[in-house]
Amino acid sequence: MTINNRVLPELRQAYSQFPGFRLQEDLAWSRSLLVQPPLEKSKLVHTTNCMIPRGDGGEMLVKIYEPIERNRDKLPAMLWIHGGGFVMGHPDMDDLLCERFVQTANCVVVSVDYRLAPEHPYPAAIEDCYAGLVWMTAEAPSLGIDVKRVAIAGASGGGGLTAALALMARDKGGPSIIFQMPLYPMLDNRNETPSSYEITDAQATWSRLNNLTAWRMYLGEEKDTNELSPYAVPSRADNLAGLPPTYTCIGQLDLFRDETFDYVTRLAQAGVDVEMNLYPGSFHCFEVFVPEAEVSQRASQNYLDAMARALHP
């Protein structure tokens, strides 16, 4: 389905000019689209790179962002999980966003460089994210963070990993999480919802074909899709009770729209406090692709403010 005439005018040019990911044909080229040129660092945020243990016993990079001027008081913390459909992306691409979280929510942000599929299929990514959460809370004294105020967040594929991580932390009995923010999350490999059939444009920021391909790369060809863990596919979780309060948002022209609706509904039915914003005329990752647009500024400020409220109740 062509949705170009439904896209907001302020977003339309970027949507029509994006070349589209080609995961099936050229994964390396697709990954190159997410490589960001070096950005000027904020003078108010200090960034540190650190190697920590990952899920398989190896090492992975984490990036730590914190206010340059901070006193001895412990700060709340947020684990950030970058997007990229489980097959693309790197923490570097979210430097600016993580700096904004630090400044808006007055917190420490730890961003994890989890392993990517298809080289490292499930459960590598979620194991690495959980290892990052465990490391962050264990290192609370050296990081100067308050373990009673820890949140997790991510976007797109990182949003799906955020939802999976909340389930895993609940089931393992910790670390304790007071808030989760899975933004326009990638939750369901079945691709059966109406919205999953709506976005088929080749140049879409995330199309049905790319979604099918990414799930196949992540789960592997031989997986019995009827016996998948909710840590792999969060939409398959039978029980959402006991999860932390949640914020999410999504564009109306995002193929994840309906699976997000279903997730939010089930959270609410399970007694989890949940807030959601829907943005008409907006496609997947619209605020990343067109950050200067009014709707993008409004959307990003809304989720930055939601994190600030959660970490400073």
The residue annotated as part of the active site, out of 30, 42, 111, 156, is 156
Rounded Cα distance between 23 and 203, Å, is 12
Rounded to 10°, the helix 95-105/294-311 angle is 50
Q: What are phi and psi of 203, to 5 degrees?
A: -95, 10
With contact defined as beta carbons under 8 Å apart, do 204 and 283 qualify? yes
The helix (run of H) or strand (run of E) holding residue 77 is strand 75-81
**Active site annotation includes 156:** yes
Rounded Cα distance between 279 and 252, Å, is 6
The residue annotated as part of the active site, out of 128, 195, 284, 296, is 284
Residue in 189, 160, 20 with CA at minimum distance from that of residue 86: 160
With contact defined as beta carbons under 8 Å apart, do 284 and 201 qualify? no
**Active site annotation includes 282:** no
The residue annotated as part of the active site, out of 95, 201, 254, 258, is 254
Rounded Cα distance between 170 and 166, Å, is 6
DSSP letters for 88-147: S--GGGGHHHHHHHHHHHT-EEEEE----TTTS-TTHHHHHHHHHHHHHHHTHHHHTEEE
Distance of CA 43 to the CA centre of its chain: 26
Contacts of 28 (CB under 8 A, 6+ apart): none
Q: Which residues of 124-141 are buried (b: 16+ CB within 10 A; e: fewer)?
A: bbbbbbbbbbbbbbebbe
**Active site annotation includes 26:** no
Adjacent-strand bridge partners of 250: 278
Q: What residues are annotated to the active site?
A: 156, 254, 284
